Structure 1
Amino acid sequence: MNDLNSIVDAAKAAFIQATTPADLENAKAQFLGKSGRITELMKGMAALSVEEKKTRGAAINVAKQAIEVALTDCRQALADAELLKQLQAEALDVTLPGRQRGQGGLHPVSLAQERIEAIFGSMGFDVADGPEIESDWFSFTSLNNPPNHPARSMQDTFYIDTKGDDGVYYNLRPHTSPMQIRYAQAHVRKHGGEFDVAAGKLYSGAMPEIRVIAPGRTFRVDSDATHSPMFHQVEGLWVGENISFKDLKSVYLSFITSFFETDALQLRFRPSYFPFTEPSAEIDIMFESGPLKGRWLEVSGSGQVHPQVIRNMGLDPERYIGFAFGSGIDRLAMLRYGVSDLRLFFEGDVRFLSQFQ
């Protein structure tokens, strides 16, 4: 029995000295493995008599159970020590304030659009919205774009490859200008006017002025540092009985100084050509201070609404006249926030977008 007690004591000592689970398993093998000391004692029982086997076997089982208990205790002790070590390494200071989920913010283009809507709203302009999939008539024909105009080709415009219920092909709108026609026609009907553009019947009665902007997404086959296949545009329209370029200059100057929050800029109208306006002009601005000081920057196309476009609105061009302009919201946002590459707006990089929250 003394030999069994010494084996149990040796096993307990070996288990206690183990500092890792691997060391503990190696110590276990010395006593309970295939060649362990307890196993060897069990093999030696073959030479004993029946009575000796009973006595010796019972004693060896008691010793084996004692060793297994000691092994289990040491395994638990090692596990507890590892857990304590992990808890200490990952200790939390419960007195610190909790971590709140980060709050999102508006996209810089959305911020710019909201600012544009607020500025023109303060000048009495309505904000109109319309379909992003348009018919050829609203996208081009109603705006005095002839059938052979290059904007109708696949080079500039995305077309839907199936016809609509009316039998015509549709496109993703290349500008928000179709809303000029849609809004004006709805405005005429709203105030009791009747017209039939196809039959040449136009409205020439008294009617409140049309004053509206149409911001929204537009689509063209174009992509580089300053162009994107999807971009944002704001169209402006003011139609009445006596609206001139003077009003256009006054309105746009008020808008641009409010948008950039500075009077230290100059406005320039540069002669140009657009099918839907006559005469037409590009609008350039030049800052008198800051990193863009002294450079003329194109920000908009504009002009007096073409008489044919007035007719397509359902109005008599002999009585009604007005101006229109179209500005890139993305371009204005780039200038306001100092962004050099348009593609940054659409890549979804949180590091970039978080600067505007």
Structure 2
Amino acid sequence: MDGIADLRDRYLNEIGGAADEATLENVRLAALGKKGEVSLLMRSLGKMSPEERKTAGPALNALKNTLNDAITEAKDRLAAAALDARLATEWADVTLGARPSRQGSVHPISQVTEEVTTIFADLGFSVAEGPQIETDFYNFDALNISPEHPARQEMDTFYMARAEGSNAAPNVLRTHTSPVQIRHLEAHGTPCRVIAPGRVYRSDYDQTHTPMFHQIEGLAIDRDINMANLKWVLEEFFSAFFGTSVKTRFRSSYFPFTEPSAEVDIQCEWVDGQVRVGQGDDWLEVLGSGMVHPKVLKAAGVDPNEWQGFAFGMGIDRIAMLKYGIPDLRAFFDSDLRWLRHYGFGALDVPTLRGGV
């Protein structure tokens, strides 16, 4: 067939001159598409004599293969050129540092709990834990809290639902961590020196109270422990916690589970509405304490004629507010990310002892 060589040269020139894949596709359709020139010539083979097909058939097949190979090569060339163009404009400097990722923070309550635990560990206290849903016995009876005590009223305590027809005393959400002391004495006996941090629940809500808050109880039982030991431990703790020498003042009080009992104040002064601990002539109440009542020791299976000791309890949330200047207790539980970023601590901030404890 005449003109095959010219057809090949023309399409090879168009393939070689295609500047993009869209132009190349148009050339392919013009040559090899269903209605392309080469395709139409291939269909005309049926009308030729056998002698003509012997010559035209191989020539058209060779043309078709040549154009297909050229198109494939052109596609690879255009794809490589497009990739080079993208790399020239979309490159990344792998030597640059990673984008800073937003980090979370340690909640002040978690931080202060760690600080308190660290300080008391240095004073020889271990950590004891107990359930947050307590029995009436451990939460009240074992702690010498009488049936008519206001703390046992529903206005102050969260009671759990009882099974229908049950006459058993309902379980409660523990109102303090003092039940842990009873459970620890039952399980481990005496002597002991423990703290019991954890969540507690009371039906109260205002600027300085929330229905759920955090408390830490301390207990030390031995044969010759007295109130002087209690005062020393508390002053050493507060001096370490606040980073300055802190004096305490004991005021006579009443708690069912201690006798004698004392409210404990710490030395402070008020400057521009802010409290400064460890200086000045004012006093701020921070906790309740006393010598463990003999009835409480008996309830835990301890002989009060041989053993005695002190106990104290304070709010973790409250001492966190004092140390870090947080004005409203409710903000601890609002889950406000702005508040958490402001008052939170870094994950690698390690509590350290201060004040030469």
TM-score range, shorter chain: 0.5 to 0.7
Q: Is the counterpart of residue 276 in structure 1 residue 257 in structure 2?
A: yes
Residue aligning to 1:313: 300
Corresponding letter in the other structure for 2:257: F
Question: Per the alignment, do residues 273 and 11 of structure 1 end up closer, same or farther by CA in structure 2, a change over 3 Å counting?
Answer: farther
With normalisation by structure 1, the TM-score equals 0.67
Shift of 1:257: 2.3
Equivalent pair of 1:285/1:299 in contact (CA under 8 Å) = no
Task: Name the SS of the counterpart of 1:124 in structure 2.
Answer: coil
The residue aligned with 2:195 is 213
Q: Shift in Å at residue 259 of structure 1? A: 1.2
The structure-2 alpha-carbon separation of the partners of 1:323 and 1:104, relative to structure 1 and needing over 3 Å to count, comes to same
User: 1:42-61 maps to which residues of 2 (within 5 A)?
Assistant: 42-45=42-45, 47-61=47-61
Measured after TM superposition, the shift of residue 293 of structure 1 is: 3.6
Other-structure match for 2:226: 243
Equivalent residue, structure 2, for 1:11: 11
Partner SS for 2:346: helix
Q: Deviations over 1:127-175 (max 9, x none)?
A: 3334455433112221233446555749743748779xxx876555443
Residue by residue over 1:267-326, the C-alpha shift from the partner in whole angstroms, topping out at 9 and shown as x without a partner, is: 676887754346453756746679944698775444554454344234566786654322
The counterpart of 1:255, out of the listed 226, 234, 237, is 237
The aligned runs of 1:183-194 (5 Å cut-off) are: 183-186=184-187, 189-190=189-190
Distance 1:291 1:81 in 2: 71
Shift in CA distance, 97/173, structure 1 to aligned 2, threshold 3 Å: same
- Percent identity between matched residues is 40
d(CA) in 2 for partners of 1:147, 1:91: 74
Cα offset, 1:225, TM superposition: 8.5
Kindly indicate whether the alpha-carbon contact (under 8 Å) linking 2:263 and 2:285 is maintained by their aligned counterparts in 1.
no
Q: Secondary structure at the match of 1:74?
A: helix
What runs of 5+ residues in structure 1 fail to find an aligned partner?
A: 191-207
Give the direction of change, closer, same or farther, for the CA distance of 1:212–1:84 in structure 2 (3 Å limit): same
Could you say if the C-alpha distance between residues 318 and 157 of structure 1 is closer, same or farther in structure 2, counting changes exceeding 3 Å? same
The one-letter amino acid of 1:49's match is S
Residue-by-residue CA offset, 1:113-132 (whole Å, 9 max, x unaligned): 33222322333334333445
Q: 2:354 aligns to what? A: none
Are the equivalent residues in 2 in contact too, given 1:225–1:343 (CA < 8 A)? no
Code of the aligned partner of 2:220: W
Partner of 1:177: 178
Query: What is the CA–CA distance in structure 2 between the aligned matches of 1:287 and 1:27, rounded to whole Å?
Result: 91
Tell me, yes or no, if the aligned pair for 1:227 and 1:342 is still in contact at 8 Å: no
What residue is the counterpart of 2:71 in the other structure?
71
Extract unaligned runs of 5+ from structure 2.
Answer: 278-282, 349-357
1:327 aligns with 2:286: no
For residues 259 and 162 of structure 1, the distance between their equivalents in structure 2, rounded to whole angstroms, comes to 46
Secondary structure of the residue aligned to 1:236 is strand
CA contact (8 A) 1:158 1:219 kept: no
